[in-house]
Structure 1
């Protein structure tokens, strides 16, 4: 409704408006000024991090195209009901599928499209685990039968492993698959309440087929968990098949576009060929043929693939959160010490910069570790295809530890980024609350983080004990060959600037991890009364120090990956010196921030002196100041589009307040001026006789 304002009112207000405007800042100008401070070529780093100029431009082109589609429209994403989220997630999945067919795009482009829309739905595990499981565990005949159907979406699958009573402890699964040699069939059954499959994404209302993890019984013997493929819903009317009870488990902390489900099986028969038999097999007569000894844990390959992708994605999600927080704190102004002066940019406060810029450095560290982790998995796949599983133990150990470490860092980092955005960070329109509630599941799924740390710690202690008997170690555990030497080592840093030396930082990470490994091994020996026992009460009583060891080792690995990646960039001449310098500042800031947080261990061991800690802290503060001018350029180099971030606060033009107002106007509560509560409640209540004050 038009509002008439008379001339006198306008004149009276004019002076007040001028007074306010004299101290106001244009957030768009502030962000532009931040970009002008860059000491390196942002475009060069942008293209390097994202695989080249062509990929950057291709992603932007895709975003422009899909943002115009009904399924790619994000304007209502923060206002949808759970049912709307679920249906929209399916529309997105099939919209991307049709878009890929129309444009004849490959799998890598499909990943880009899914990341751009970021609307998880019922096909997440079909893409992320069902198809990879068929590739990893099915024999050629089974792949020929099932993969074309899965890849064409003729069937939709999920991965049904977790149960009400068991998650990370896979060997404890209670669902059974009992072989009937007379009929050459398996009887799959849920014998207990706690054997109910619980949590698989897409199981509730979407999947027609599952990869079922169940304990294989044949001729009266339990052979442990194996993978089976089976149909659970009709392809005609989508109703559950006989003997199968399925449903949705209800609302969750986040990720509510996905229909995580439950499943109970009642004496359901499936053919012998339903067992995925690339490695282990069942003969028609019911004889169990185990996988080769070197491949005893082949069934864990899919989980390790998923854990590797989780490590890779950790850097991406932390980078997104840090991008939003950095842009917003660069344009948000708060408080001035002198009347008439502009308020200070929030990022210029030491308390903010000292919290946020180390997170920026950490995001870069996780980016490079993610690349290394996926390369390790790719190398494993090549070896596996040759029948070589020798690197499986190391991959299992370090994918476990890095999964736990990286998801912990990212979960905490997203929340810290939200807090640094102040009150507006609490709004879902900032993008940060939804990012947190959707991401934090990664700390639990595919292995509870504490259990993952324990698996890594077990591997490290066994490696140390092996090295003490003359065994040669390889990979990230090789430093444990010199663990006894590390126990006597002392840091030789004597000046503040010496803490900039990557070798000095790496030595501190390595020494702390080696000492903790020796300490953990000694405690385990004491608890065991002699030779270490990696189970039962001795192991349980050593859990705390073993987890601490795994954390220290994972921190060492992440720093080493950052350092090695930067050395490789230098030696290959892939980036200009100014760009390398900016990355070196981040590497140093990441390293010193982690070491500063863990100085207690190094003071206790005698590796560091109190004076060296003071020097470390001074250099860490200096690096925060050094990184500050490049803060916005460094997050720009991540290359996230506004469409991708879906954040009013993370807008690339800096116009954050207009963004908040525009997004808020789309709220369903704003569809009418009076709001939905007027007719439903307020009108009758407020018009009751005697409800109005008589004063």
Structure 2
């Protein structure tokens, strides 16, 4: 290998003057990053401590980062260069490594969850932790829990959750996998009767899991009792080979999340013991008598569903805020185009179009962060009430959690890609962290309930509320504005000046007007489709779904913004924040409201609630708010509190040293292991060196 030739002194003297010309006005990105933080009008560390429930939580996270960085299995240096197989093995090594650290160092469950979030290396244990163990806890009898949970916690068995089939997803009652009780042997026979009944998608099932919780239609004495849960062993614990009658494997590469071995499973008349059915609620006796669950069981089952959706809402703020952090920090140090050659180029974040994209996106990220906190609080409140047998809030909570799951993931997925595009060409590189962030996240729009189906769950609640309003029944909760709108059907927007749009009262009134208008419109479409009969099922419902989804989105958008306002005002009034951070958060709240209303600009004018002039004032106010927030842009990313280790982004580095990070990442590419590259001998040398080809 030839060494690079060093220039002689004469060559240097020839070239140096030209270099001085081209480097005139050049800026140091590290200096730019530091200068950005000096512009801030608030204490970003105070806001970070508030968002993370105290300084001690942030300090503990830094300690856990150091612990992770000391372990080879959590090294992120080469994460973006891994093959699928390496990614799968690495994800498992990281999950097992965290588990061993927790046991060896006696770390808390909270520490373990934090370490998983920091390392973010999804692998084959995701559903073992997230679904298999919780389902046994929630649906297993004390005896079944005693049998399975110790094995789960010691990783002596590894489980997953198998519900979705190749041909069935949302329509759970239509699952085709069967579990038929054999009274003679006191066993169940589980069977996949068709190609479409093949279980498809369960994480960890491809090559990791030894057991599954199988959702199958229960048949006893020929009667179909619908889907029930069964613990089924699918692999031999000594050899890891599939058991007799089990066909199982990995479904192949996906758009993202490829460290997780999502799998397929087909069962051919596999026999399992009677106590493999989880029987905390429904039971089948040895004699073949089916004992149905208690009447409130269906309501209780919603608790798990609400919890999962609450975590999805919480995670939406987490993922979007990471993307906004990366894009904003990079835009603050990337410079592009000078007014005059030789003068400093303009920071990309100082371009008006970039500001008008990134700062409203920042406000959405903060709104989702606060919504995630509130959603978890609502779940815990409901769980406490449920323990007392109080399910009164369930209809409201189900409607909100469904709609928020849909809207929050829509906002986050779209926002991550929007943030990536603001990074120009470098945002296309995996080293930016943004493509992987998007590809890993976007699945949330379709898993745990396709978003269109989730909006329709919310719409069902709204249609019942609309019928109640028509019959004169008072409404409470999130749909109360429908009663208010019915009393003032001709209300008009009262905004007279641009700054009026900052007022929460004006913003909420406008969002409520849009939501009420779209709900009334959807109810009218549904009634016409049903021949004047109210209803929330059947062909009329299907033919009205576009209007129903629009109404649900507007309802949830109103709720999201209202929650943002209430959270910030509560933090300020309870003196959890000083004046500086509170003032900046209020600006973010105002910007979020304005941006949300601009999304609904057509709806604001369609029925005459607002005039074209008032919407024009809205656009002007967004520009004003964005410019007011511009000095705090980087400080607001700091308040999210993400360590560089967690972001794993060359562009989102806290110190701003982005170009060195990009070059360092490029040099570590496996393609650069040799100067010739892997295609030289088999392809390029015969092409470029005919003499070598003739010798061959």
Q: Offset at 1:299?
A: 4.0
Tell me if the contact between 1:67 and 1:73 (Cα under 8 Å) persists in the aligned partners: yes
Residues in 2 aligned to 1:266 and 1:474: alpha-carbon distance in whole angstroms: 52
1:229 alignment counterpart: 231
Q: How does 1:329-344 map to 2 (within 5 A)?
A: 329-344=331-346
SS in 2 for 1:105: coil
Q: How does 1:299-314 map to 2 (within 5 A)?
A: 299-314=301-316
Closer/same/farther in 2, CA of residues 678 and 443 from structure 1, 3 Å limit: same
Say whether residues 1:200 and 2:206 are aligned partners: no
Tell me if the contact between 2:686 and 2:693 (Cα under 8 Å) persists in the aligned partners: no
> Structure 1-normalised TM-score?
0.97
Say whether residues 1:123 and 2:125 are aligned partners: yes
SS in 2 for 1:201: coil
1:347 alignment counterpart: 349
2:83 alignment counterpart: 81
1:70 alignment counterpart: 72
Match of 1:387 among 389, 408, 420: 389
Tell me if the contact between 2:326 and 2:651 (Cα under 8 Å) persists in the aligned partners: yes
1:240 alignment counterpart: 242
Say whether residues 1:41 and 2:38 are aligned partners: no
1:289 alignment counterpart: 291
Q: Offset at 1:426?
A: 0.5
Q: Offset at 1:598?
A: 0.7
SS in 2 for 1:262: strand
SS in 2 for 1:620: helix
Q: How does 1:412-491 map to 2 (within 5 A)?
A: 412-491=414-493
1:677 alignment counterpart: 679
Residues in 1 aligned to 2:273 and 2:468: alpha-carbon distance in whole angstroms: 45
Q: Offset at 1:276?
A: 1.8
Q: How does 1:154-173 map to 2 (within 5 A)?
A: 154-173=156-175
Match of 2:11 among 9, 12, 15: 9
User: Unaligned 5+ residue runs, structure 1?
Assistant: none
1:260 alignment counterpart: 262
User: Unaligned 5+ residue runs, structure 2?
Assistant: none
SS in 1 for 2:228: strand
Match of 1:601 among 591, 600, 603: 603
SS in 1 for 2:144: helix
Tell me if the contact between 2:144 and 2:278 (Cα under 8 Å) persists in the aligned partners: yes
Tell me if the contact between 2:300 and 2:386 (Cα under 8 Å) persists in the aligned partners: no
Q: Offset at 1:688?
A: 2.2
Q: Offset at 1:661?
A: 0.2
Tell me if the contact between 1:255 and 1:438 (Cα under 8 Å) persists in the aligned partners: yes
Two-structure CA RMSD over aligned residues (Å): 1.6
2:640 alignment counterpart: 638
2:652 alignment counterpart: 650
Tell me if the contact between 2:22 and 2:342 (Cα under 8 Å) persists in the aligned partners: no
SS in 2 for 1:4: coil
Q: Offset at 1:259?
A: 0.2
Q: How does 1:583-622 map to 2 (within 5 A)?
A: 583-622=585-624
Q: How does 1:552-571 map to 2 (within 5 A)?
A: 552-571=554-573
Say whether residues 1:531 and 2:541 are aligned partners: no
1:409 alignment counterpart: 411
Residues in 1 aligned to 2:524 and 2:4: alpha-carbon distance in whole angstroms: 79
SS in 1 for 2:72: coil
Q: Deviations 1:441-479 (Å, cap 9, x if unpaired)?
A: 111111111111111111111122134335454432232
1:519 alignment counterpart: 521
1:140 alignment counterpart: 142
Residues in 1 aligned to 2:298 and 2:290: alpha-carbon distance in whole angstroms: 13
Of 415-424 and 261-270, more deviation after overlay is shown by 261-270
Residues in 1 aligned to 2:307 and 2:283: alpha-carbon distance in whole angstroms: 22
Residues in 1 aligned to 2:172 and 2:194: alpha-carbon distance in whole angstroms: 16
Count residues with an aligned counterpart. 692
Of 54-63 and 214-223, more deviation after overlay is shown by 214-223
Q: Offset at 1:154?
A: 1.8
SS in 1 for 2:415: helix
Q: Offset at 1:147?
A: 1.8
Q: Deviations 1:322-362 (Å, cap 9, x if unpaired)?
A: 00000000000001122321110001001100011100010
Tell me if the contact between 2:21 and 2:342 (Cα under 8 Å) persists in the aligned partners: no
Residues in 2 aligned to 1:346 and 1:581: alpha-carbon distance in whole angstroms: 26
